[in-house]
Amino acid sequence: MIKRRALISVSDKTGIIAFARGLVAQGIEIISTGGTKATLEQEGIPTIPIEEVTDFPEMMDGRVKTLHPKIHGGLLGRRDLTSHMEAMEVHGIQPIDIVCVNLYPFKETILQEGVTKEQAIENIDIGGPSMLRSAAKNHEFVTVVVDPKDYTQVLTEVSKIGETTLPTRQKLAAKVFRHTAAYDALIAEYLTDSVGEKDPETLTLTYDLKQILRYGENSHQQAVFYQTALPVSFSIANAKQLHGKELSYNNIKDADAAIRISREFDQPAVVAVKHMNPCGIGIGATIKAAYQYAYEADPVSIFGGIIVLNREVDSEIAGKMHQLFLEIIIAPSFSEEAFKILSSKKNLRLMTLDFSKKDQAREDEKVSVLGGLLVQNQDIVEEKVENWQVVTKRQPTEEELKALEFAWKTVKHVKSNAIVVTNNHQTLGIGAGQMNRVGSVQIAIEQAGGKVSEAVLASDAFFPMGDSVEYAGENGIKAIIQPGGSIKDQESIEMADKYGIAMVFTDIRHFRH
């Protein structure tokens, strides 16, 4: 009687000793290779060396050891076909019933600081994926295990009924193909980037499950949160949650928007977001001043919002935020006393994020549409004030220019049509997502109220006619920043001159849909 065999070759040796012992206890022989074989034998687990099966030595620094008919024939041979079994007998191929393989650590290698391309290439596994795919293809007869989390289930079934059930083998095979597809996608991405290919003929993406969400945008929708296989340090996916209930779908989107906005500022800054639009942004000499400005920008809309601070939260700021209903607070850190104050609210999410990595978060944006995917690079562009053009008779004052810079950094993060009214340290009015630009202007100016006389206005795209500028002038706006580029630019310029407004063209549009 031919004994049952398992082939074990793993880079991640988590749980492998107990798994191998369990198989041996069920009378299953272990075939193994290299480091795995040494690990098992060191623990007293008998193994059959791979070269004894193949009658061929490992070679080329281990690049060639399992790519052999006596291995793949043992994996791929159908036990229900006489022709297959006869071929195996003629060629001395013994069936392999269980394959336990995980792959060279390619991902872990390329995440290391200073890794060379040669090191990355040497960690591309060839034999491992080949064995996994062979075994998974033949899952009607072969059990294939790629994840240590599945060891217990496999051992339980083998000990109870002598083999795994077909449903288990089907699930494990599906996991294998997901695993090898993700592995290959990561390699494809690395090599594609290394040769500077910008628009490949196919786009291979891989993400890791981070969280199954309670529901999606609405309670009747299901949702799951995946993060990139190569983690992005400055992202909501990589933020560390210290306290509070789990994040929701809308929380994640709002937090992402707030984090993106906070990236604009090096000085102490506080960003409050509601429904993916900023409702208050403040900058200051201290984080306390910045928080006060952000709060005062819109003390009504901040209710139920998300706040990102780019400096540590101390007890004084924590005390002020404690008075509000907030969903999430994100900061580099919380002082011990601040955490104690804020964590008294059991549902408030407190999260930390490494702001030193903010300039490294430059991955492409991907947006799904029915039947497809839109991909673009982020709206990150170096803009220099000296390249802006003043197109009106009046030049902006130094104070107005500072305010225009602040307004321009802000407006790019507001949903189009976007208008913001600010001074040099605080948003005063925000008009977002209106179907016509003058509507956004009216909303922003109305929200700014009596502070308009000390404010400037930014528009994410050009004014299609002079009505928006006229409304701004009638309500006291003294400086405007916009991209320019309309066939009716002159109409807007003349209207600005009529009201003594200084107007600056940037020649760069910042639509955000």
Which positions are annotated as active-site residues?
137, 275
The neighbour count for residue 277, using CB atoms within 10 Å, is: 19
User: How far apart are alpha carbons 283 and 267 in whole angstroms?
Assistant: 7
Cβ partners under 8 Å of residue 398, min gap 6: none
Give the number of other CB atoms < 10 A from CB of residue 416: 20
At 352, list the tokens. 């930390």
CA separation for the pair 340, 350 (Å, rounded): 11
Exposed e or buried b per residue across 488-511, where buried means at least 16 C-beta atoms within 10 angstroms of its C-beta: ebebbbebbbebebbbbbbebbbe
| Residue found by looking up tokens 């900023």 in the block | 278
Residue with tokens 């004052």: 397
Spell out the residues 6+ positions from residue 482 whose beta carbon is closer than 8 angstroms to its own.
Answer: 458, 459, 461, 462, 463, 492, 503, 504, 505, 506
- As a whole number of angstroms, the distance between CA 444 and CA 430 comes to 4
Cis peptide before 417 (omega within 30 of 0): yes
DSSP state of 287: H
Instruction: Tell me how far apart the alpha carbons of residues 113 and 366 are, in angstroms, rounded to a whole number.
Output: 27
The total of other beta-carbon atoms located within 10 Å of residue 255's CB is 26
In 10 A of CB 295, how many CB atoms?
21
Phi and psi at 154, nearest 5°, equal: -60, -50
Contact 176, 133 (CB under 8 A): yes
Residues in the chain: 513
Q: Do residues 70 and 54 lie in contact, with contact meaning Cβ atoms separated by under 8 Å? A: yes
Coil, strand, or helix at residue 183?
A: helix
Structure token pair of residue 140? 């009607």
